[in-house]
Amino acid sequence: MAYEVAGALHAPLDVFLVRKLGVPDHDELAMGAIASGGLVVINDDVVRGFGIPPQVIQRVAAEEGRELLRRERAYREGRRPLDVTGKVVILVDDGLATGSSMAAAVSALKEMHPAKIVVAVPAAPDSTCRALKTIVDEMVCATTPSPFFAVGQSYYDFAQTTDDEVRQLLRDSSNGAASPLSE
């Protein structure tokens, strides 16, 4: 998705990874997220509701942090992250449900001082789009299906993108397939 957006805008492409911190024994339920750079965002309602102790949060964050670092190294293949200071950044996802992972990405990205943060997704619940709109400069939700059950329901084919495909798209982009946006 991001490759197509970068190509259409003739903008540089990079990865900014986020890993969900799943509730033990309920991995699909997010008690928070960890983003590139190590910033952890916690969903206080879930943590309180499940009575999750701090040491469990720390353990899960450490495990997901290691996976995040592994993926970032694998995807970058030695390329440095783009310097986004003073630039417009468009965060793209294939769709959002609760938006907690995107909120973590936005929080971490703000620490890099971009000029503007835009979030763009093809599908998300209206409530998620409205909530994220309060923390970003611009929110683009192409569709807000109602009722919203899952991101995958907005796709004919929702096959996962493999690590190899991500690496190839990043390589193609850095070789000029998606050329830098002029300032």
> pTM for this one?
0.82
Question: What integer best gives the mean pLDDT of the chain?
Answer: 89
Please determine, for residue 177, whether its predicted confidence score (pLDDT) is greater than 70: no
Mean pLDDT value across residues 148-170: 87
Please determine, for residue 57, whether its predicted confidence score (pLDDT) is greater than 90: yes
pLDDT, tens digit (0-9, with 9 covering 90-100), for 111-157: 899 999 999 999 999 999 999 999 999 999 999 989 888 888 888 88
Domains and CATH numbers, the chain: 2-157 (3.30.1310.20)
Mean pLDDT value across residues 92-106: 88
pLDDT-derived band at 176 (thresholds 50, 70, 90) equals low
Pair of tokens at residue 41: 């965002």
pLDDT, tens digit (0-9, with 9 covering 90-100), for 72-96: 999 999 888 899 999 999 999 988 8
Going edge to edge, which strands form the sheet with 116-123?
88-92, 116-123, 138-143
